[in-house]
Amino acid sequence: MVGIMTPKGLLSLLLAAPASAEILFATSYNDHALYTLSLNASSLAVVAKSYDCGSEPTWLTLDYAKSVLYCLNEGWGGAASITSYKTTGGALSKLDVLPVLKSPVASTLFGPNKTGLAVAYYDTSSFITFSVADPSKLALQQQETYKLASPGPVPDRQDVPHIHDAILDPTGKYLVATDLGADLLRIYKISNCAKNVTELTPVKAVPGSGPRHGAFATAGKSTYFYNVNELSNTITGYSVSYDNKSGPAFTRLFDFSTHGPGGTVPAGTKAAELVVSPDQKFVILSSRGESSLTIPNFDAGNSTALPSDPLVSFAIDGATGALKLAQVAPAGGVNPRGFSLNKAGTLVASALQDDNRVVVIARDPATGLLGNIVAHAVVGVGAGNGPNYALFNE
């Protein structure tokens, strides 16, 4: 492992790496660090850390075309913030740090030339947009904060609105925010200049489901939206149609277990992340708290299998939006809070928050099936609360 390096020193190191090497970024709560990792065949190595993202770095949003990375700091142990970085060959140089409300948990770029950043706030019940036209001068644009008249069906988790994700729709004209506390999909229309958004009529989710993360998928002229629900451990699918006057219309298609229709999960399970594959043919979700699978020990001299939570893959029927269970595969350890796919869909980077580990898993893009763990690295120092997000630099 290489210690903290200057961007110039890291750039020299990365340029000297094999041409086949890939760069990943990962965040870790317990050592308050943003990691840079280098993947070369079966080797995943930590090459640098940045401590500019604050006390609890979490979600990462990458503008690859501009070589800019945005890191959210939830701020439970300090002041919350958004940090922007210049990425040069994977080397990180801090551009700006903007103090924000506590608990930013997810973000997405939007607007012409990606000049806006929409951010979901869990604990402070807010949806806020920022100008990132100049990544070295981050600026607040618009803030919407919500209240509940009364607690929801799961009162200990639905006492207030909890905005958990910000998602740009395929047209680039609308944003969706999943509200775990209010059981809503909040819909926003983006102005032509992306300087403000207008809230439209929200979509009511299944009561007590707790929408957490979501993603759109397109098939020909059809558009679908899928969200994973943390409280009910279900996945909900919608067909989406567009009317220029009233915005997108969501029609619920199904709501079933994260393990497929009729599936069940152990008590204490909490659904986490959901992504749609780059080819728009598969939905993959992570489920925490199951420990229902095992993986070989990473110590070659130890034959004791290790527990693993699952990554669950579904095939999308492009004609109907229906999902068919394709596979329940190991996520590489316990508490897979966040994961991502590379652009080719051949690799999955999984962040195991309770195991202080990031793993890279092989994937067959044709079948959507996950294979073996091809590489892994220790990320995070200290027990628990380790890596919670991993992202390919592409």
pLDDT tens-digit series, residues 287-309: 999 999 999 999 999 999 999 99
- Given a contact cutoff of 8 angstroms between Cβ atoms, the answer to whether 340 and 390 are in contact is yes
How remote is the C-alpha of 90 from its chain's centroid?
A: 20
22 pLDDT exceeds 90? yes
* Residue 82 falls inside a structural domain: yes
The arithmetic mean of pLDDT across residues 338-354, rounded, is 97
- Quote the pLDDT of residue 7: 55
Beta partners for residue 117, in sequence order: 109, 130
Backbone angles phi, psi at 11, to 5 degrees: -60, -40
3 pLDDT exceeds 70? no
Confidence of residue 13 (pLDDT cuts 50, 70, 90): low
The overall pTM is greater than 0.75? yes
* Residue 2 falls inside a structural domain: no
Beta partners for residue 177, in sequence order: 166, 186
- Quote the pLDDT of residue 245: 78
- Quote the pLDDT of residue 243: 82
Q: Is 331 helix (H, G, I), strand (E, B) or coil?
A: coil
The arithmetic mean of pLDDT across residues 326-330, rounded, is 98
19 pLDDT exceeds 90? no
Q: Give the model confidence (pLDDT) of 38-91 as tens digits.
A: 999 999 999 999 999 999 999 999 999 999 999 999 999 999 999 999 999 889
- CB-count exposure of residue 326 (10 Å: 0-12, 13-18, 19+): buried
- Given a contact cutoff of 8 angstroms between Cβ atoms, the answer to whether 84 and 95 are in contact is yes
- Quote the pLDDT of residue 89: 85
- Quote the pLDDT of residue 246: 83
- Quote the pLDDT of residue 195: 84
227: domain CATH number is 2.130.10.10
* Residue 380 falls inside a structural domain: yes
- Quote the pLDDT of residue 123: 97
11 pLDDT exceeds 70? no
Stronger pLDDT, 336 or 13, i.e. the higher one: 336
∠ CA(201), CA(154), CA(266), 5° rounding? 115
Give me Rg for the CA atoms of the chain.
Answer: 20
* Residue 24 falls inside a structural domain: yes
The arithmetic mean of pLDDT across residues 329-345, rounded, is 97
The arithmetic mean of pLDDT across residues 212-230, rounded, is 98
Q: Give the model confidence (pLDDT) of 241-269 as tens digits.
A: 998 778 999 999 999 999 999 999 999 99
* Residue 241 falls inside a structural domain: yes
Per the structure, how many domains does the chain have? 1
- Given a contact cutoff of 8 angstroms between Cβ atoms, the answer to whether 47 and 22 are in contact is no
* Residue 1 falls inside a structural domain: no
- Quote the pLDDT of residue 2: 38
Nearest to 25 by CA among 77, 80, 91, 75: 91
- Quote the pLDDT of residue 106: 98
384 pLDDT exceeds 90? no
- Quote the pLDDT of residue 217: 98
Q: What is the percent of the chain with per-residue pLDDT over 90, rounded to a whole number?
A: 89
- Given a contact cutoff of 8 angstroms between Cβ atoms, the answer to whether 50 and 33 are in contact is yes
- Quote the pLDDT of residue 192: 85
- Quote the pLDDT of residue 269: 97
The arithmetic mean of pLDDT across residues 154-166, rounded, is 98
Mean pLDDT value across the chain: 94
Which amino acid, one-letter code, is at 394? E
* Residue 65 falls inside a structural domain: yes
The domain in which residue 64 lies consists of 7-392
- Quote the pLDDT of residue 14: 57
∠ CA(215), CA(109), CA(162), 5° rounding? 60
